[in-house]
Amino acid sequence: MKIVSWNVNGIRACIKKGFYDFFVQADADFFCIQESKMQAGQQEIITKGYVQFQNCAQRKGYSGVMVFAKQPPLSVFYGMGIEEHDREGRLLTLEYDSYYLLNCYTPNAKEQLARLTYRIAWEEAFRQYINDLTKRKVVILCGDLNVAHQEIDIKDAHRYHHHAGFSDAERAQFSKLLETGLVDTYRYVYPETVAYTWWDYRFFARQKNIGWRIDYVLVSQSLKPNIQDAYIYGDVLGSDHCPIGLRIDV
């Protein structure tokens, strides 16, 4: 099974920059996108051979996640059942016979960590949601989790110690998420590889490869022997993020 995840920073804009070319080339069983920035019905996304699911933010042009799946799920959950956290359209869960597939766009802590308190509240609720799911089935979680976990995951780590996405609090929350029984698949397959998934649009950051790895596919520990390969498609343009992927036997 192949899973691809991509923060497209606006699906309508990304379509104009080659989204469909990569979508067809990837030929994934699941193609998950974050930051769709689109309301239901605003534009048809043509994904022949896939069923589509979308969770939109109440605020127009903001956040939002989508999943394109080759096989229809048993059920679909929109959000985690907490109104405070569900109004921004950040989570989709598809249930299958033996696993749950989650597509997540974690809130950004913002400049000067202005939204860190909310971010921590989200993280705590999300961990409980994950714990509840894993009591029933294994979990595959992908998305933009908005944190560079280790120093290897960010260029010039010393410069960003107290910045959103690399603060001690956010990194600790990510560690706690892994402690629920999840594996960072890319770091498992490539423990020492320096590769990034997001680059600031400013300062020619992508050309200079001044980046962050903040997009992930995490899986339940019991699936670790089933991991075949993990991918970062760093040469795929169209967004300030690049796509990532996982091949796994489930």
DSSP string, 182-220: EEEHHHHH-TT----SEE-TTTTTTTTT-EE--EEEEEE
Helix (H, G, I), strand (E, B) or coil at 159: helix
CB atoms within 10 A of CB 112: 10
Q: Which helix (H) or strand (E) holds 118?
A: helix 116-134
Find tokens 């996405």 and name the residue. Answer: 165
Query: Residues 118, 173: contact at Cβ < 8 Å?
Result: no
Alpha-carbon dihedral sign for residues 26, 190, 138, 222: positive
CA distance 231 to 3: 10
In angstroms, the Cα distances linking 188 to 174, 212, 245 are 15, 18, 13
CA distance 50 to 243: 18
CA angle 74, 30, 101 (to 5 degrees): 50
Query: Residues 102, 91: contact at Cβ < 8 Å?
Result: yes
Among 208, 204, 206, 226, CA closest to 217 = 226
Catalytic site positions: 105, 144
